[in-house]
Amino acid sequence: MKNMEVEILIFDLDDTLYPSSSGIWTLIRERIDLFMISKLNYTINNVHSAREQFFKEFGTTLRGLESVHHIDPMEYLQFVHNIPIHTLLFPNKKLSRILSEIKQRKVIFTNGDRWHAKRVTDSLNITENFDEVIDILDVSPFCKPMKESFEIAFRKLKIFDPEKALLIDDSLRNIQAAKNLGLQTVWVNEDDNHDQPNFSHIKSIEELNLGFPAIFHLEEK
């Protein structure tokens, strides 16, 4: 799809606004496993496969645990995101400058919760660069990459023409779902060894001006 005008940028949070090598998701996965073992009687031997199956079938572990075990989503989200983010993420002046140069609306759409999102953006010192956060509770009972989650996000964000929205996400599933809905996309992936020629690709969020330079020239049109 040819790049069109962009009116709004929709950023994923985890492994998108910071590198996947930060170690944050390793800690979150450990907390997810601990939640399932300590509260739902999973064992060390079966928790990994169960978590992976929930992710594949329901989109997130949370949605799987809600469907199968009827857990309280707030209890789960607070438990699994209770990690020392401030020891892993630090102010990113380059990213703050890049975001400030983008004049269009900028929002976060995450399968996490807004409390976790604010801790991340506060640590990166980029909170003020975003106009709004759409989190997993906002799109309940759905989540990315479900079509319904995007449709709810569109309504909340008053997006009437998805083709003028740009999704920046590290998840290929989310990128594919967004493209199917007509959005423009940029895939953030640190690995150069991939076979996805149909997607705009950058290795880090700091390369956004290289992966999609048109958004930095709004005033020149």
Are 116 and 193 in the same domain?
yes
pLDDT tops 50 at residue 219: no
Confidence category of residue 213, pLDDT binned at 50, 70, 90: confident
The whole-number pLDDT of residue 93 equals 97
| Predicted local confidence at residue 1, as pLDDT | 45
Same domain, 33 and 111: no
The tally of domains found in the chain comes to 2
Residue 207, pLDDT > 50, answer yes
State how far Cα 161 lies from the chain centre: 21
Residue 78 — pLDDT band, cuts 50, 70, 90? very high
Give 87 or 192, the one with higher predicted confidence. 87
User: Is there a domain that residue 85 lies in?
Assistant: no
Quote the domain boundaries for residue 74.
24-80
pLDDT at 214: 81
Share above pLDDT 90 across residues of the chain, in percent, rounded to a whole number: 86
1 lies in some domain: no
pTM value?
0.93
pLDDT digits (tens, 9 = 90+) for 162-192: 999 999 999 999 999 999 999 999 999 988 6
- My answer on whether 61 and 134 are in the same domain is no
82: pLDDT strictly greater than 50: yes
Q: Does the residue 34 lie in any domain?
A: yes
Model confidence at 221: pLDDT above 50 = no
Residue 43 sits at the vertex; the CA angle it makes with 40 and 47, to the nearest 5 degrees, is 80
- CATH at 215: 3.40.50.1000
> Are 68 and 167 within one domain?
no
pLDDT band at 217 (very low <50, low <70, confident <90, very high): low
Do 72 and 159 share a domain, yes or no? no
- Block residue for tokens 């079938």: 57
Mean pLDDT of all residues in 6-23: 96
String of b and e for 102-118 (b: at least 16 CB within 10 Å)? beebbbbbbbbbbebbe
Q: For the packed helices 114-124 and 73-80, what is the interaxial angle rounded to 10 degrees?
A: 20
Residues 118 and 193 in one domain: yes
- Asked whether residue 57 falls in the same domain as residue 134, the answer is no
Judge whether 157 lies within some domain: yes
Average pLDDT of the chain is 93
Let me know whether 37 and 139 are in one domain.
Answer: no
Same domain as 156, residue 67: no
Query: What does each C-alpha distance from 189 to 128, 195, 205 come to in angstroms?
Result: 25, 12, 9
* Within a domain: 3: no
Helix crossing, 24-40 with 47-58: angle to 10°?
A: 110
Q: Is residue 215 situated within a structural domain?
A: yes
Final residue in a domain of this structure, among 36, 52, 80: 80
Q: Residue 72 maps to which CATH number?
A: 1.10.150.450
**Is 62:77 a contact under the CB 8 Å cutoff?**
yes
- Let me know whether 160 and 56 are in one domain: no
Element at 106 (helix H, strand E): strand 105-109
Higher per-residue confidence, 212 vs 17: 17
- Could you tell me if 171 and 101 lie in one domain? yes
Nearest of 204, 209, 159, 212 to residue 185 by alpha carbon: 212
| Residue 76 falls inside a structural domain | yes
Could you tell me if 160 and 208 lie in one domain? yes
Question: What phi, psi does 132 have (nearest 5°)?
Answer: -165, 155
Whether 50 is in a domain gets the answer: yes
Domain boundary among 58, 80, 102: 80
